Structure 1
Amino acid sequence: MDRTSLAVLYFPIAMGIYYSMSIAPFTTMLSFPTLLVFITFACFCYLFKSQWPDKLQKAKRPSLPPGPKPWPIVGNLPEFIKYKNETSVSHWIHSFMKEMNTEIACIRLGNVHVISVACPEISREFLKKHDAVFASRPLTMATDVLSKGYMTTAFSPFGDQLKKMKRVMVSELLSKARHGWLYKKRVEEANNLVRYVHNQCKNSDEGGLVNLRVVARHYCCNLMRKLMFNRRYFGQGKADGGPGFEEEEYVDAVFTIFVHLYNFCISDYLPFLRGLDLEGHEKIMEEATRVLEKNHNPIIEDRIRKWRDSKIDEPQDLLDVLVSLTDDNGTPLLSVNEIKAQITEIMIASVDNPSNVVEWAFAEMLNKPETLQKARDELDNVVGKDRLVQESDFPRLNYIKACLRESFRLHPVSSFNVPHKSMTDTTVAGYFIPSGSHVILSRIRLGRNPKLWDEPCSFKPERHFQDLSKREQVVLEEPELRFVSFSRGRRGCPGVVLGSSMAIMLFARLLQCFEWSIPINQGTIDLSPGKRDSFLAQPLLAVVKPRLPPDIYSISS
């Protein structure tokens, strides 16, 4: 309390006491009531003084972004619960933003203001101009479970732990030098991908029916296991290169976690409900996380013992890198729990985006055979048919990358990006953004904004060649936030290079090595998304035939 406040509070009290004492010999009946009046008056003055500047400040500051009118105390939680049960919260948010014709909206859930943004200019203002203000993350039930109490890079709030883990990720795991060091492992898994698909269609002139979702997701998981643990499978795998039971269970757990990670859990806005698990999310997250840790932890603990016993001299994979890091005193830089939590986060964050973008790209292109043919023609012209596409070919595969960009734009892996949390009150785009607000960019509405994109709901890869005047080649990143391929800003995705190479290699190898067609009598591919997620409602099934000389497939064995 400042001196002015003390004066306002105590001056009337002192005067009241003095007045009461001075008149006591003459009229004792008035002394106590008079003192009470002065005390009451003092309290009133103090409250008025403390509230008056806030009221003036509130009158002067900008208004909150438009949004549905909140209820007292609970805000918009009644609507939240209604639409969460009926369709999805993201559908509700997008619906009222469309009805209100606004590109920024504010939804109050309990005491939390959730700010949804669908405009690239406003998005850039949040994540470029005011990036430092929005560099934190919300504390949620799901991220707490997954990160062992916020020990990791992507989900930790702003602070020393984040800075430490981010240095490890950027300097040690995802540097340019480290990317080159892991090249052979990526090639191994690209070859295994071709072998696996070829084994499903090589024995029939009519081709084989392939579940592209299974192919894409398991390739991404196999690749990350190879980079992280120097092994393709946790269990035995199958002779044809496909997943065994352990792999299927693992991949299911990975995507269960992804779907529930930021799925608007009510206890994130009413924390006193945490533990009651009214929606069952906490149990789902804990069980899925246990599946991952059941496979990860024995390997991690065994590797730590080997390093401590000096049985390993040089790192062979990313786990070795994490275990071998030391501080200035020569002691391990990371605790066992930090290593376990960071590896789990990496596995979750690396497999969803590449697999989803490739499945959607194939779904769109199977309905547009001319687009599929253009992509194959580019591969034949750049790479030919006498060898397999390699990462060194990527700079010249502009149409391939344009197809992936278009898939990112039209079919993002989630409705919103990972939330940013404001650390102070600020003003963005003329609106007041309170401290503690959760800011979410609408991936769907950014990518389909009719002010930016001609025929926004049509799959047109050619539109991305307009950017070639500004750069030498098409890239998967979108720094101007006209859509979101990889997260941007201070809390942006540090694995853009790895994620891009995973998506391009998966897409290019499948296109180069195989003919893809829609199953007979199916008509066209149904492009409906899931009701509660952004994946295709039904996994993509396609007929596959080899299109390269037989000896090329033996290279991948």
Structure 2
Amino acid sequence: MASLQWLKECSKPTLLVVTIFLAVVLKFLMQEKLKRRKLNLPPGPAKLPIIGNLHQLGNMPHISLRELAKKYEEYKEKFAYSSCSVPSVSTGYNFVREEEVARLIRRIAESYPGTTNLSKMIGLYANDVLCRVALGTDFSGGGEYDRHGFQKMLDDYQALLGGFSLGDYFPSMEFVHSLTGMKSKLRYTFRRFDQFFDEVITEHRNSKGKQEEKKDLVDILLDIQKDGSSEIPLTMDNIKAVILDMFAAGTDTTFIILDWAMTELIMNPNAMEKAQDEVRGVVGDRKVVQESDLPRLNYMKAVIKEIFRLHPPSPVLLPRESLEDVIIDGYNIPAKTRIYVNVWGMGRDPELWENPETFEPERFIGSGIDFKGQDFELIPFGAGRRSCPAITFGTAAIEIALAQLLHSFDWKLPPGLEAMDVDNTEAFGISMHRTVPLHVVAKPHFD
């Protein structure tokens, strides 16, 4: 009897907690029901109290969002805006691209007849181009790249930006970041970048007499700060933020598209043959591809479009927030609604594309669809006034490098490796990298 009485007493708090929990859930569900009656909200999955739909995102949100979208076909994306604060960089800095492409080709050629880590080579190229245009510094050539741990800083920064942040969804729970160590990691990473940029800016201030055509992004920003020509005063923190954004967005786009372009072409020999025949037919016996050759490379441009469709660098564009209540297609979109555009899902939508999971550059031959923001089925850089302004810079760096890679080498996988064996697993983040580098055999086409 004593034990039974003890059990009854212990169960009272438990029953109380359960009762309160059920009451909260019921109240939440009733409020949601009333809210939906009052507002004609777009159809979507039922939400849980407090956490809403976060439990349905999983480790690969772009895939989860596509699966949810399939269940709610009635609601389609009618508009798309992205945020990309990378500044426009002069495309007249052609000699940098040409020199870095030449260095990329030399690095790859040195590995033959062995295998080469093509992903690493492409990554060095993307970073070198941006370092020279933005900072005027040749990091990988002069050893500065390793001394500063530059790639590690970028990797850490990308991981922190792309990771799940509880405080973004629940501001009241920001303290959790201190417990998980995220806040200390952020401070450490930004402190390293801050020290690095201080060195770079000091070097630029001490350099005198640089020719106008040789000025890099830091020179230009310091000139703007000095003469006060900007409508809004440019602080040193503003300059550092612009440079950091440049690296965060500028290097990844070039790297990811080139890495996936070579991967898909090597896995699809017919497409590789078409692309190489076109480039070699245009360039002829010349060993070096010139920028004037690029407008004639229609199939190669179709390959790049297909890569942007299948493997957009940012699978889900940076979020936007509605400033006021709006109505779209009869649905109420409340103010402060956070909007995510799943460009990865749009690129694989069977209603927009035939055979959406298949690599077919031919779909863009004779098509007017481009990725510049005017065709909403293909918007890897976003669209509208807040689309990424670095499209021209990124595209130029991609096209000249891909054309030269196709022209200079005959490509194949390492002995014993078939296309089906290539590991194409991707890691989700603010940008989406392949988790396993691409190793290939690159036989020089010219003796």
Asked if these proteins are the same fold (TM beyond 0.5), I'd say yes
Shift of 1:327: 7.8
Of structures 1 and 2, the larger Rg is shown by: 1
Structure 2 residue 45 is matched with structure 1 residue 68: yes
Is residue 516–residue 545 contact of structure 1 (8 Å, CA) maintained in 2? yes
Is residue 401–residue 475 contact of structure 1 (8 Å, CA) maintained in 2? no
Is residue 370–residue 378 contact of structure 2 (8 Å, CA) maintained in 1? no
Aligned Cα root-mean-square deviation (Å):
2.9
From 409, 420, 424, the counterpart of 1:528: 424
SS of the counterpart of 2:387? coil
Structure 2 residue 268 is matched with structure 1 residue 296: no
Is residue 325–residue 334 contact of structure 1 (8 Å, CA) maintained in 2? yes
Structure 2 residue 220 is matched with structure 1 residue 321: yes
CA distance in 2, matches of 1:382, 1:521: 33
Q: Which residue of 2 aligns with 1:186?
A: 97
CA distance in 1, matches of 2:36, 2:69: 25
CA distance in 1, matches of 2:440, 2:210: 45
Shift of 1:199: 2.2
Structure 2 residue 259 is matched with structure 1 residue 359: yes
Q: Which residue of 1 aligns with 2:119?
A: 213
Question: In the TM superposition, what whole-angstrom CA distance separates every residue of 1:236-267 from its partner, at most 9, and x where no partner exists?
Answer: 33xxxxx96347x3223323323432433111
From 239, 242, 252, the counterpart of 1:339: 239
The amino acid of 2:136's aligned partner reads N
Cα 1:190–1:234, aligned 2, differ >3 Å: closer, same or farther?
Answer: closer
CA distance in 1, matches of 2:195, 2:106: 28
Is residue 325–residue 333 contact of structure 1 (8 Å, CA) maintained in 2? no
SS of the counterpart of 1:466? coil
Cα 1:378–1:428, aligned 2, differ >3 Å: closer, same or farther?
Answer: same
TM superposition score normalised by structure 2:
0.82
SS of the counterpart of 1:515? strand
CA distance in 1, matches of 2:226, 2:35: 48
Q: Which residue of 1 aligns with 2:73?
A: 102
Question: In the TM superposition, what whole-angstrom CA distance separates every residue of 1:433-475 from its partner, at most 9, and x where no partner exists?
Answer: 11111111111210011011111100000000131xx4xxx85
CA distance in 2, matches of 1:452, 1:92: 19
Q: Which residue of 1 aligns with 2:248?
A: 348
CA distance in 2, matches of 1:228, 1:399: 31
Question: In the TM superposition, what whole-angstrom CA distance separates every residue of 1:15-45 from its partner, at most 9, and x where no partner exists?
Answer: xxxxxxxxxxxxxxxxxxxxxxxxxxxxxxx
The amino acid of 1:544's aligned partner reads A
SS of the counterpart of 1:441? coil
From 465, 468, 490, the counterpart of 2:385: 490
CA distance in 1, matches of 2:101, 2:295: 18
Shift of 1:531: 4.9
SS of the counterpart of 1:358? helix
CA distance in 2, matches of 1:410, 1:375: 18
Segments of structure 1 that go 5 or more residues without pairing to the other structure are 1-54, 105-118, 128-134, 138-152, 155-165, 202-206, 238-242, 550-557
CA distance in 2, matches of 1:439, 1:279: 27
SS of the counterpart of 2:115? strand
Q: Which residue of 1 aligns with 2:311?
A: 411
Shift of 1:126: 4.4
SS of the counterpart of 1:221? helix
Is residue 486–residue 496 contact of structure 1 (8 Å, CA) maintained in 2? yes
Cα 1:506–1:256, aligned 2, differ >3 Å: closer, same or farther?
Answer: farther
Question: In the TM superposition, what whole-angstrom CA distance separates every residue of 1:165-191 from its partner, at most 9, and x where no partner exists?
Answer: x9xx4xxx43xxx322x1222222122
The amino acid of 1:69's aligned partner reads A
The amino acid of 2:42's aligned partner reads P
- Between 373-382 and 227-236, report the one with greater CA deviation: 227-236
The amino acid of 1:197's aligned partner reads I
The amino acid of 1:64's aligned partner reads L
Give the number of aligned pairs.
409
CA distance in 1, matches of 2:251, 2:358: 26
CA distance in 2, matches of 1:515, 1:425: 56
Written as runs of structure 1 = structure 2, the 5 A alignment for 1:414-493 is 414-467=314-367, 470=368, 476-493=371-388
Question: In the TM superposition, what whole-angstrom CA distance separates every residue of 1:511-531 from its partner, at most 9, and x where no partner exists?
Answer: 111111011111225353325
CA distance in 2, matches of 1:368, 1:516: 11
Structure 1 outlier segments of 4+, above 4 Å: 55-61, 310-315, 326-333
CA distance in 1, matches of 2:159, 2:188: 14
Shift of 1:498: 0.3
The amino acid of 1:481's aligned partner reads F
Cα 1:228–1:461, aligned 2, differ >3 Å: closer, same or farther?
Answer: same
Shift of 1:485: 2.8
Shift of 1:69: 1.4
CA distance in 1, matches of 2:359, 2:48: 41
Is residue 517–residue 542 contact of structure 1 (8 Å, CA) maintained in 2? yes
The amino acid of 2:105's aligned partner reads V
CA distance in 1, matches of 2:140, 2:405: 25
SS of the counterpart of 1:452? coil
Written as runs of structure 1 = structure 2, the 5 A alignment for 1:164-179 is 169=87, 173-174=88-89, 178-179=90-91
Cα 1:212–1:56, aligned 2, differ >3 Å: closer, same or farther?
Answer: closer
Structure 2 residue 182 is matched with structure 1 residue 287: no
CA distance in 1, matches of 2:374, 2:390: 15
CA distance in 1, matches of 2:370, 2:49: 47
CA distance in 1, matches of 2:163, 2:412: 35
SS of the counterpart of 1:208? coil
CA distance in 1, matches of 2:309, 2:137: 33
Cα 1:69–1:222, aligned 2, differ >3 Å: closer, same or farther?
Answer: same
The amino acid of 2:351's aligned partner reads K
Structure 2 residue 400 is matched with structure 1 residue 505: yes
Cα 1:329–1:367, aligned 2, differ >3 Å: closer, same or farther?
Answer: closer
Percent identical among aligned pairs is 28
Q: Which residue of 1 aligns with 2:435?
A: 537
SS of the counterpart of 1:179? coil
Is residue 225–residue 235 contact of structure 2 (8 Å, CA) maintained in 1? no
Is residue 118–residue 438 contact of structure 2 (8 Å, CA) maintained in 1? yes
Structure 2 residue 344 is matched with structure 1 residue 373: no
Segments of structure 2 that go 5 or more residues without pairing to the other structure are 1-32
SS of the counterpart of 1:245? helix
Question: In the TM superposition, what whole-angstrom CA distance separates every residue of 1:116-165 from its partner, at most 9, and x where no partner exists?
Answer: xxx5xx34x344xxxxxxx8x7xxxxxxxxxxxxxxx72xxxxxxxxxxx
Is residue 447–residue 482 contact of structure 1 (8 Å, CA) maintained in 2? yes
CA distance in 1, matches of 2:220, 2:227: 16
The amino acid of 1:477's aligned partner reads K
Cα 1:69–1:264, aligned 2, differ >3 Å: closer, same or farther?
Answer: same
SS of the counterpart of 1:72? coil
Cα 1:236–1:448, aligned 2, differ >3 Å: closer, same or farther?
Answer: same
CA distance in 2, matches of 1:481, 1:341: 30
Structure 2 residue 240 is matched with structure 1 residue 268: no
The amino acid of 2:345's aligned partner reads R
